[in-house]
Amino acid sequence: MRTPLIAANWKMHKTVAEARSFVEAFLPAVRGLEGADIALCPPFTALAAVGPLLAGSAVALGAQDLYHEDRGAFTGEIAPGMLTELGVRYVIVGHSERRTLFGETDELVRAKVAAAFRHGLTPILCVGEQLAEREAGRTEAVVTRQVEAALTGLEAAQVERLVIAYEPVWAIGTGRAATAADAGAVCRLIRDRIRAAFGDRAARGLRIQYGGSVKADNIADFARDPDIDGALVGGASLDPQGFAALVRAA
Ligand code: PEP
């Protein structure tokens, strides 16, 4: 049985002080809740402050990206070991904003997923089609290409631990979520592909989240689908009481 993961992607929001006050309000609001894993993914600059505040709680620390090299002349980048040193457990890889605004290719995403596993981090691999791709009937082809490219070279035991976030790009930050039926269908497609490539055990263990305008008042629809294992949440994760309500509703 898979435990759903509700992960907060704060994107480029929250200073260290703002991140601290979020955690101080959020932890009491979710204390004792069971049935879902929870992760907070602050900006890099707040990881060192948030990590110790989460210690001893059921809420895990995540990062929003990493670089695939361990060290070197890569100005501005963050190595996997720099994240693990701070207690980071999850790392978002291949978010559509990285792919579209910063030119991340399938090959770079693959290298980042591999680097995360090398360092014991759990990647949250984001995949999803653009609106024009959906309208052209290419959702299945795009998502399959992204998944297959990112998982090339992985072992079945790694895929079993992976998290995939299916995030249709047109649903991110738009207030226009996919229907649970559409999201569930794509998540099933991904799981079927994983089963064909890595076997039944990997397919049963892999968690597949939905992301894209998830809110406290629609999360329950996604949570009911047996192939959707939680959510990656952007805008609705920025307010501690609002995000706690969303986690409760999941
Ligand atoms: C995201 O950025 O991954 C996301 C899903 O954002 P939002 O919840 O704001 O659509």
For the full predicted model, state whether its pTM sits above 0.90: yes
pLDDT band at 222 (very low <50, low <70, confident <90, very high): very high
- Top mutation candidate among 9, 96, 102, 215 for ligand 1, by most atoms within 8 Å of CB: 9
Domain layout of the chain by residue ranges: 5-227
The answer to whether the CB of 172 is under 6 A from ligand 1 is yes
pLDDT at 1: 77
Please give the average per-residue pLDDT across 46-65, as a whole number. Answer: 97
- Atom in ligand 1 nearest the alpha carbon of residue 215: 8
Q: What is the pLDDT of residues 104-152, one digit of tens each?
A: 999 999 999 999 999 999 999 999 999 999 999 999 999 999 999 999 9
Q: What is the pLDDT of residues 163-187, one digit of tens each?
A: 999 999 999 999 999 999 999 999 9
Distance from C-alpha of 42 to C-alpha of 36, rounded to nearest angstrom: 19
Protein residue whose Cα sits closest to atom 2 of ligand 1: 234
Residue 167 is a catalytic residue: yes
pLDDT at 93: 98
pLDDT band at 7 (very low <50, low <70, confident <90, very high): very high
Residue 155 above 90 pLDDT?
Answer: yes
Protein residue whose Cα sits closest to atom 1 of ligand 1: 234
Q: What is the pLDDT of residues 91-112, one digit of tens each?
A: 999 999 999 999 999 999 999 9
Q: What is the pLDDT of residues 9-47, one digit of tens each?
A: 999 999 999 999 999 999 999 999 999 999 999 999 999
Ligand-binding site membership of 21 (annotated) = no
pLDDT at 180: 97
- Top mutation candidate among 13, 174, 233, 239 for ligand 1, by most atoms within 8 Å of CB: 233
CA atoms lying within 13 Å on the CB side of residue 26:
26
Protein residue whose Cα sits closest to atom 3 of ligand 1: 234
Is the CATH code 3.30.310.50 the one for domain 5-227?
no
CA of 216 to the centre of ligand 1 (A): 13
**Please, where are the H alpha helices in the chain?**
16-30, 44-54, 80-84, 96-101, 106-118, 131-135, 139-151, 156-161, 180-198, 200-205, 219-223, 240-249
Please give the average per-residue pLDDT across 207-231, as a whole number. Answer: 97
Query: What number is the ipTM of this complex?
Result: 0.98
Please give the average per-residue pLDDT across 213-240, as a whole number. Answer: 97
Per-residue buried b or exposed e for 156-195, using 16+ beta carbons within 10 Å of the residue's own CB:
eebbbebbbbbbbbbbbeeeebbebeebbebbebbbebbe
Residue 196 above 80 pLDDT?
Answer: yes
- Top mutation candidate among 214, 218, 239, 247 for ligand 1, by most atoms within 8 Å of CB: 214
- Residue of 95, 104, 129, 160 marked catalytic: 95
Please give the average per-residue pLDDT across 231-238, as a whole number. Answer: 98
The answer to whether the CB of 230 is under 6 A from ligand 1 is no
